[in-house]
Amino acid sequence: MINIVVALLSEARPVIKHYGLVLQPEWRGFPVYAGNGLRLVVSGVGKVLAAAATAFLAGAARAQHGPWLNIGIAGHSSLPIGAITFASKITDRVSGRNWYPPQVVKMPGTGVHVATHDQPVLHYPESVACDMEAAAFYVSATRFVSGELAQCCKIISDNAQSHIDHITPNFVADLIGDNLHEIDNAVQALRSLVEAADHIHVDAIDVNQYSARWHFTTAQKVQLQETLRKALVRGSAEMLDAEQWHYCHNAKNVLAEIDRYLKSLPVTL
């Protein structure tokens, strides 16, 4: 099940129509539409609502393990109106924190740095897409899935030559509708990634290589197995060999080293 978060109903309408999604009236709190292997929640504008809607959908639908996709509009200094982009870096402009969604599958469009602001942006920083939800969405979604399964798709709605004054609900709906083919490619890419992960099983002997050297709690064993599975998805089968972490003093150190190594792997944009 693919989980989609959008801020505006005008952003949602083309997606709802394209996939034949149906409003779920029994869900209270945020509008949720579902069908054909997708769930879509309309959050409202801003970080607080984006984070709340993502957590709401994850909890109410028990959607913790499916991929997540944030779809919405963004401004950019130079990219043309209607260009589709995917966030390779996300910055919260208030806190200054940065995140780097791993791009382990090919996404359509351009990889961009997305900066999330608390207010609409009228003066565009160079080579940065500006929105109001991506950072909060990503932080919330990655509480439930690993980073490569939470992606942000931004359609350029305004730039230095065409400011936000012209943006209307119909204009937004047209922008999303014009990019439905590329959005569907992203949905299918995420679906394929999950299917590939589901077919990968870490044999108990591989985990036992680790537990024979270090003491892992039950929770740490689950974390280790998920981490090793993620490594296999990313083509790093060599990480199944526990010997390479011989210098680690305990299970916590091992998990930290594996995580550091995974983050150092190159991404494909």
> Tokens at residue 138, please?
């990503």
Q: Which residue has the tokens 């210098």?
A: 247
pLDDT interval class at 53 (50, 70, 90): very high
- pLDDT of 268 higher than 50: no
52 and 140 both lie in a single domain: yes
152 and 260 both lie in a single domain: no
151 and 257 both lie in a single domain: no
137 and 74 both lie in a single domain: yes
pLDDT interval class at 2 (50, 70, 90): very high
pLDDT interval class at 41 (50, 70, 90): very high
How far are the Cα atoms of 37, 172, 219, 226 from residue 204, in angstroms, in the given order? 31, 50, 15, 12
> Average pLDDT, whole number, for the chain?
87
159 and 248 both lie in a single domain: no
> Tokens at residue 233, please?
């998805």
Tell me if 22 is assigned to some domain: yes
pLDDT at 255: 87
Instruction: Write out the residue range of the structural domain in which residue 30 sits.
Output: 2-197
pLDDT interval class at 269 (50, 70, 90): very low
Tell me what percent of the residues of the chain surpass a pLDDT of 70.
88
pLDDT at 54: 96
Q: Which residue has the tokens 């034949």?
A: 20
136 and 232 both lie in a single domain: no
CATH code of the domain covering residue 129: 3.40.50.1580
- The mean pLDDT of 15-35, rounded to a whole number, is 94
Q: Which of 144, 164, 197 is the last residue of a domain?
A: 197
218 and 175 both lie in a single domain: no
pLDDT at 191: 85
- pLDDT of 101 higher than 80: yes
Q: How many domains does the chain have?
A: 2
172 and 138 both lie in a single domain: yes
- The mean pLDDT of 76-99, rounded to a whole number, is 95
Tell me if 21 is assigned to some domain: yes
Tell me if 68 is assigned to some domain: yes
Tell me if 152 is assigned to some domain: yes
pLDDT at 220: 83
Report the C-alpha gap between 112 and 79 in whole angstroms: 10
172 and 243 both lie in a single domain: no
pLDDT at 198: 56
222 and 103 both lie in a single domain: no
- The mean pLDDT of 141-150, rounded to a whole number, is 86
Tell me if 269 is assigned to some domain: no
How far are the Cα atoms of 191, 205, 209, 230, 259 from residue 143, in angstroms, in the given order? 19, 28, 28, 16, 15
Question: What pTM does this model have?
Answer: 0.77
pLDDT at 141: 93
Tens-digit pLDDT profile for residues 154-207: 999 999 888 888 899 999 999 999 999 999 999 998 888 777 655 555 555 467
Please, what's the largest Cα pairwise distance for the chain?
63
Q: Which of 197, 215, 242 is the last residue of a domain?
A: 197
144 and 19 both lie in a single domain: yes
- pLDDT of 55 higher than 90: yes
pLDDT at 109: 81
Tens-digit pLDDT profile for residues 112-123: 999 999 999 888
Tell me if 129 is assigned to some domain: yes
pLDDT at 200: 54
Report the C-alpha gap between 232 and 6 in whole angstroms: 31
pLDDT interval class at 44 (50, 70, 90): very high
Tell me if 76 is assigned to some domain: yes
133 and 183 both lie in a single domain: yes
How far are the Cα atoms of 84, 94, 106, 235 from residue 189, in angstroms, in the given order? 15, 32, 7, 17
pLDDT higher at 265 or 268: 265
- The mean pLDDT of 8-28, rounded to a whole number, is 95
Q: Which of 197, 223, 256 is the last residue of a domain?
A: 197
